[in-house]
Structure 1
Amino acid sequence: MGQAGNVLFVIIDQLRADCLSGALADHVDLPNLQAFMDEAVTFTRHYSVTNPCGPSRVSLLTGQYAMNHRSVRNGTPLRHDTPNIATEMRKAGYLPMLFGYTDTSADPRVHDPNDPILKSYEQCMAGFHEVVEMRLEESFPWQSHLMKKGYQFDTYWDVYKPVSADGRKPKLNDPALYRAEDSDTAFLTDAFLDGIAPHRGKNWFAHLTYIRPHPPLVAPAPYNDMYDPADIPVPQRLATIADEKGLHPFFGPTLDAYTPMRFVHGFDEVEPTDENICTLRAIYMGLATEVDHHVGRVVEYLKQSGQYDDTLVVITADHGEMLGDRHSWGKMTAYDAAYHTPLIIRDPGNQARAGSTVTVPTESIDVTPTILDWVGQNVPNAMDGRSLLPLLYGDMPHDWRNYSFSELDFSEPENPTQWQRQLGTSNSESCLSILRDERFTLVEFAADLPPILFDHQGRGEFENVAANAEFADDLARLGRQMLRHRMRNMDHTLSLHSITPNGPKVQLRY
């Protein structure tokens, strides 16, 4: 096919799928994303294959399951020779421009121990041209912008503390110290619009990554109190934290480790009252609305500059967020809300399908193969995902998956986690796998822990039926399916290559 046009690949950090379609959609205003859905194809059963941020982005950008790339934690190195969207787009003649971050930990085998690249997990993935750095824990260009604008802060993390307008003790939903036009989201959007403008007519590829609505949960006015906490539904949960912990041993450490306190700065204590929880949910929604506003600016620029109908636009999230559901926060868990993410794709040549939905399971590892397929670049066998272009056009491959698969590593080699300390699990066995089909969700552990089975024709995630004899056959069937999935998707980097008397040969995986 050759170069097909421009590609804009947007990731919104920690955006739940149900903010666009589901439980929260009626409570959060995302008009630009909703309008974009009317012009695109939406994948309603799309899941991240791993969490948290670093691993999820590695899977998104390499098209590999965590079991193959093994960059399974923030700070776990990625092998330097792993093909990714940037290395392969370069082969197609594109300069992979990065506006934001990839949270990639560098391979220490190819760097001197004194190299600063080995001091932070928030590095740029190989192959990308970093146009503007916007890493959560650094963000030096944004810090400089704030300083030049006259904002006063002693340390960088003070930027994320809400500020009281009358000098009193700040409330959770007091505004950030910066104005909306100077926020991290606004700054990144301005940098993108300035940086991409000279590339008009050159078949560009841009990866634009918004940190929001990722915590710390603080928002500039008017987004800080745009939503009344009293109007926000309380989370879906069992009656007590003790009830939640009783579902499975894994959930005890989860609830102990991740509390509302971890999602804000500037407070000595945040009691998990309904008022506080709904306030934090309202701030999250305000941050999501802020991102939506700036995504609207980007789409409008493409339209006004005459590039919209020459640009493949992909909008997704790296993972979800519990947001108080199940008394839980963050994404280090096994529940759907932590993995279920939006995926919206507009192929300018697919206007006949505008506004349609795809309801079969898709995974975050499918995004990179889809983009490579669109520009006419071969997808390396190392990539486990499959191109979504047939589904985008309404053609269902006969062998498409009927389940989704995710993984989570909950170890920390240098500082054992709450799970490791409470469950007594080692580094190599502190991990789980999740398989979701039309009816069930199965969670299996590498450690000697019992499985979890949710029946979505019953009480769903509110009841673990793994020990119920009625579901013994389903448990066994799903366990075999998970094993077969892992066997079929073991690393294919070289497994389909053959060395022959006529030289090396290779067969394509898909």
Structure 2
Amino acid sequence: MKKTFFIVGSMLPLVAAAQRYNVVYIMTDDHTAQMMSCYDRTNVETPNLDRIARDGVRFTRSYVANSLSGPSRACMLTGKHSHKNGFTNNEHGIFDGSQQTMPKLMREAGYQTAIIGKWHLVSTPTGFDYWDILPAQGNYYNPDFIRMDSRKPDGVTYVEKGYLTNIITDKSINWLEKQRDRSKPFILFVHHKACHRDWLPELKYLREYEDKTFSLPENFYDDFEGREAAAAQEMHIGKDMDIIYDVKMDSPDMKTRLSGSYRNMVSRLDKEDLRKYDFFYDSLTVEFLKEYPDYKELQKELETKKPSEYSARAKQFCEFKFQRYMRDYAKIVKSLDDNVGRFLDYLKQSGLSDSTLVVYTSDQGFYMGEHGWFDKRFMYEESFATPLVMQFPASLSTRRGDITEMVQNIDYAPTFLELAGAKIPEDIQGESLLPLIKGEHPKKWRKSLYYHYYEYPAEHAVKRHYGVATDRYKLMHFYNDNDQWELYDRQADPREMHNIYGQPGTEKVTKELKKELKKLQIQYDDPILERYPL
């Protein structure tokens, strides 16, 4: 679709070189809207994240193009779907840094570009004037970083002492305060590892949420009837969540497939900090072994039976794992929210908030027990959707409150480019969000979204699929080693429990959705259409 750059009265300051707005793009990993209180107050309070929404806008229908960390980041950086930017999955890809990216275009428009924190695209960052990134997934405790160095193209690796979420915030503030070129506007990417597995809390929050019992989602004991691909996954809290790696119940005589990885991560702590950590989780482990001396037998039951067939004892064990998961995840969010608040305070105190757009989002959503799951990947709502809030300088004439149009992470690139007064290239597939931010409701705004997930076979065994989502319906096609269609009426079935594909009375809507799906595949030039013509 052709992009048109236009200037209207309220946007004139955006293209004046002396008045161009800075951009701070804060992105977390696996932070889901269910764990952000401006979206859902059921589980946690996030007052600092909520500040962004309160003083700006909250997108209520924000989605990703591919619910997986690396591919999602590639979509954001390029404004293109995965098949166009070339980074379709984490298992076999290397991001092609020679291609056109939004940071490169921002730099051409006169912006200074910097990224600090999680990169997760295998290759060395390009298009940035400054980068200081984590290798691979990174570590929460005393993490390694790779810093750019003019003498070494791949950078210099070093260890930074402390807790990762605090460190990334410190580094971001330091770049703004001491390292940037103050003669230029900037775009700073602050990329946190939080809230990614494994959920290792900041030590001061070890006991946070320990007195809270989280409510089970209504569909926690989903049996996946009529959904073969959903049944085949390996991301179930009961069946697949590791008692040591994920739940942190660990003693010298216990061993699992992931226990070595867990102990290596925790061993990064200094001796005294490790003592505090072990004291807390060892105490929980002692109580756990008293309560569940039969945990191995219970685990076998969780692995071999359908959730509806679990014994009362097995359900108790499964729900124990759920509570531990939720508590540790919530502790990660607590530190994250603290640091977002600290960063917002710095922007205000330094005077930068008067000239800076602040964007907060995650690379995708996450399951907090819905369908009995953790992780992401599927086009089902909890991982397809992602939080998105923006706070604007007071001098920028924009709307406040909720934006209800459907948006996607391919839209960030053209939004930032238009804000910078730069031309939006024809091959960018996203749409600038600025008309929505200004309070307009374009008649030609998209009425559907396209999604495509590729990483299979791989960890968690989520099968390849693509699909289309509209206001009311969602149609998905699982392919490659299977050929299964799923159709959901999200108005009648918001939990997406009942696959109505092929049922009497759905013929008309199925035909319309397949027509819309084909239109999107042609629009975005996805070659999958040649393999599975509609």
Q: Is the pair's TM-score, using the shorter chain for normalization, greater than 0.5?
A: yes
**Structure 2 counterpart of 1:466, which letter?**
Y
Verify the 8 A CA contact 1:136 1:211 in the aligned structure 2. Answer: no
In 2, are the aligned partners of 1:372 and 1:379 still within 8 Å (CA)? Answer: yes
For 1:144 and 1:321, the matched residues in 2 are separated by 26
Compared CA separation, residues 368 and 263, structure 1 to 2 (3 A): farther
Match of 1:338 among 383, 408, 418: 383
Secondary structure at 2:325's aligned position in 1? helix
Matched, 1:38 2:71: no
Contact 1:370 1:388 in 2 (8 A): yes
CA contact (8 A) 1:103 1:124 kept: no
Name the CA distance, whole Å, in 1 between partners of 2:370 and 2:395. 37
Query: 2:512 is matched with which residue?
Result: 477
Structure 2-normalised TM-score? 0.74
Mean Cα deviation higher: 350-359 or 75-84: 350-359
Q: Establish whether residue 358 from structure 1 lines up as the match of residue 339 from structure 2.
A: no
Q: Give me the whole-angstrom Cα distance separating, in 1, the residues matched to 2:55 and 2:332.
A: 24
How far does the alpha carbon of each residue in 1:30-79 deviate from its partner, in whole angstroms, 9 at most, with x for none? 00011121111111100011021100100011110113223111141233
The alpha-carbon deviation at position 464 of structure 1 amounts to: 0.8
Over residues 3-50 of structure 1, what are the superposed CA-to-partner deviations in whole Å (9 max), with x where a residue is unaligned? 413211110111112323587433211000111211111111000110
For the pair 1:326 / 2:350, whether they are aligned, the reply is no
The alpha-carbon deviation at position 235 of structure 1 amounts to 2.9
Percent identity at matched positions?
A: 22
CA-CA distance at 1:219 after TM superposition: 0.5
Answer whether contact 2:235 2:375 (CA < 8 A) is retained: no
Preserved CA contact (<8 Å) 1:253 1:418: no
**Matches of 2:322 and 2:372 in 1, distance apart?**
9
C-alpha RMSD of matched pairs (Å): 2.8
> Aligned equivalents of 1:232 and 1:385: distance in 2?
37
* Contact kept? 1:134, 1:141, Cα under 8 Å: no
Q: CA deviation at 1:481?
A: 0.3
Q: Deviations over 1:168-215 (max 9, x none)?
A: xxxxxxxxxx9xx92100011111111221234532221110110111
2:487 alignment partner, SS class: strand
Distance of aligned partners of 1:355 and 1:228 in 2 relative to their CA distance in 1, 3 Å threshold: farther
CA distance in 1, matches of 2:106, 2:394: 20
Q: Distance in 2 between matches of 1:95 and 1:276?
A: 45
Asked if structure 2 preserves the Cα contact closer than 8 Å seen for 1:2 and 1:377, the reply is no
Deviations 1:334-389, CA, capped at 9 Å, x for gaps: 31111211111223156665641100100011011101110111112221101000
Within a 5 Å distance, the mapping from 1:326-405 to structure 2 comes to 326-348=371-393, 353=398, 355-405=400-450
Q: Which residue of structure 1 aligns with residue 65 of structure 2?
A: 49
Which residue of 449, 455, 472 maps to 2:483? 449
Alignment length (residue pairs): 427
**Conserved in 2, the CA contact under 8 Å of 1:131 and 1:195?**
no
Alpha-carbon contact 2:473-2:488 (below 8 Å) kept: yes
Cα distance change of structure 1 residues 23 and 328 upon mapping to structure 2, 3 Å threshold: farther
Give the conservation status (yes or no) of the 8 Å contact 1:192–1:208: yes
Q: Give the C-alpha shift of residue 263 in structure 1.
A: 4.0
Asked if the contact 1:254–1:332 (Cα under 8 Å) also holds between the matched residues in 2, the reply is no
Matched, 1:133 2:133: yes
Structure 1 residue aligned with 2:36:
20
- The aligned residue for residue 439 of structure 1 is 472
- What letter matches 1:85 in structure 2? M
Matched, 1:231 2:213: yes
Which residue of 158, 168, 177 maps to 1:188? 168
**Cα distance between partner residues in 2 of 1:25 and 1:239:** 23
Structure 1 residues 85 and 457: CA distance shift in structure 2, 3 A: same
The 1-side partners of 2:87 and 2:508 are apart by: 34
SS state at 1:369 partner: helix
Residue type of the alignment partner of 2:116: F
Deviations 1:103-158 (A, max 9, x none): 22xxxxxxxxxxxxxxxx2x34321244322345456994369xxxxxxxxxxxxx
Contact 1:218 / 1:264 at 8 angstroms: preserved in 2?
no
- Between stretches 20-29 and 210-219, larger displacement belongs to 20-29
Amino acid at match of 2:188: A
State the distance in 2 between where 1:202 and 1:195 align: 14
Any unmatched runs of 5+ in structure 2?
1-14, 146-158, 257-294, 300-316, 528-534
Aligned partners of 1:212 and 1:483: how far apart in 2? 36
